[in-house]
Structure 1
């Protein structure tokens, strides 16, 4: 009924060229799409991710190849592996759903309102790709106003791009430090910002930033002043003279004062030449005090001379300030003996002495010593009678009175000589006319 089947050798395909070829077809996207379709239809799913009201059917193998979190969970004796589901408690429902769908699609939507929740979910599930996408989004949207918040976010979730945020803050510190959230930056992050930017050209900005940060919580941060100052390697003269030595944070810390003193008294010759240009009424007396405090430790003579040079040039102005009365009698004598002071009128020199003497109770011999620096004989007798003699300091010592009386006698004699000379000249003129 059936014919006998025979086996014959198939004919060999006669082609020119290679005898065989190897062809690879890209199937990864097709496989991914197929797996995604299975998940969407709930087919072949053997596990569930539960979050709030959502129950997501998933495949164990997809979770395990995508997440170390799920791999550990499903390959050990954890209760979730046996009960067939995991409950994502305390997590944002939408973010969990987005992360699970990412495992199947490779797509995720990131926006300002969900960035924190997404990072939280991705961090728990150990989805580094999602974390990276979120961080890239933050970097692209980073500004002066939000960089501190982004840095805190990156530090919280251990994002690798925190260094980029530090660099951004460092480059824009002059603006960032004036934002309302700047004082929320962590100490270690402020250290990093300073180290990225610690040059003399930026020292003023850095010190202002440090001061603003300390002021944000002075009670718990003031003890960091010394360590923060030490990070500013090349602090500029202007910053040192105008800002640092007058800072209450510096003045309240001996450690910080010692660091600042080293910067002051060991500065280069080029920097020392700029000191006087940055002295003013608000800082000269402080710098003078620094030179006195540290004269046994450092060579303070150069800076002390700079201070006196400033004081000599601005003697009238500084004599009207409250700090002037704190000078020693030797300081006042040095000022009155300088060339510029000698050009002042006797009345101005007298007023300077009166200001200093009235500041606080002085030794009796101070008055007579200072009065010798004023040629009282050049003062009008009326001025001596109304302003000099009634002064309580003059009245307190006979030596002062003797100086005043002697000056008045010299003045009277000079006036008489002048009167006689005028009379003789007038008589001579009259005789010549006759």
Structure 2
């Protein structure tokens, strides 16, 4: 047993602070609780079947959260004799999470369906606070799990704090040390760290960031990131019909391009993703300009761009690149399709956080279209490169990978700075040890 687990067994890390005048939560169902749960009959029924079970409430609402929660939920299901796992979907990104919930066969006990057209951060935050309160009253969780840096994660953690419910934070400790980049994620993460009780860091870098903020290191665990678990689970599966169809499009593009290229030259394919809030406006415009120049300079290159549904992204991108030869604008891809598609690519250009992790396990050279990154592990390993959003720089760095075989080979190494695919198992082991040894009394 690890030293950290022994520390948990001998401490009260998850014991809530003494009650102050608010509505206390009791550790077991009561008549009032069941009445409050009437709005969530499935939750009430599940709790009634196992009234003394340890309840873990997982709250998520965006595509990255679903992907990274999937292995953890699957692992908790394996331990159902010890944990009553209850899921709450906020619907922060409605259209992008529904296919994933279906793909992963995730049963949702509560679906708040909060997404609205053109929602603002303040509006979403207010609605989350109001909608989550009755969920807490109905579930009376012993622990709340959140993931990452979304508005859903931050508000859920704050609600748990208000109810004196311990918080476990998956993917804790990522930092750029620039509060506006990424925005609002950098501050969201910091807030969760302040109120969190268990911090599941994906790497030693993240753990060191928490240490620098004076987080109790007995509550910090380097588990790796469950996104690596997820990508390994998906790669084991045979490509779906949708994945096969997209891969066939790539092969058809290969054949058409190879037919007109000089002998010995073959088509190459770049995956592009760009959607981050801090890149809206001039950032997306600069990326589009860079794409046009790369396509013009490299006749063997195809660029494949799954375009985010946010109008701030899809409208300018489709206007600028919609008619470009060898630029393929795609609808957002289901995750299994994305994994197999990424595996087929020559290189990657992205402003995504999660993709910076995924490419390390698939040996895909990647240039990161951001000024800062909270995932320096790939950069330090030499397999990702932070290049910013200046179109001249993007073109220069992409061209280097397309023309310099030595640089390309150096960045094409498979490595695992974000864990070995056992993050979910480690996280649930720690949860079980924490919960069983402290005999939590909610709100006591």
Same fold (TM over 0.5): no
Relative contact order higher in (CA < 8 Å, ≥ 6 apart)? 2
Which of the two has higher C-alpha Rg?
1
Which structure shows the bigger proportion of residues in helix conformation? 1
Which structure shows the bigger proportion of residues in strand conformation? 2
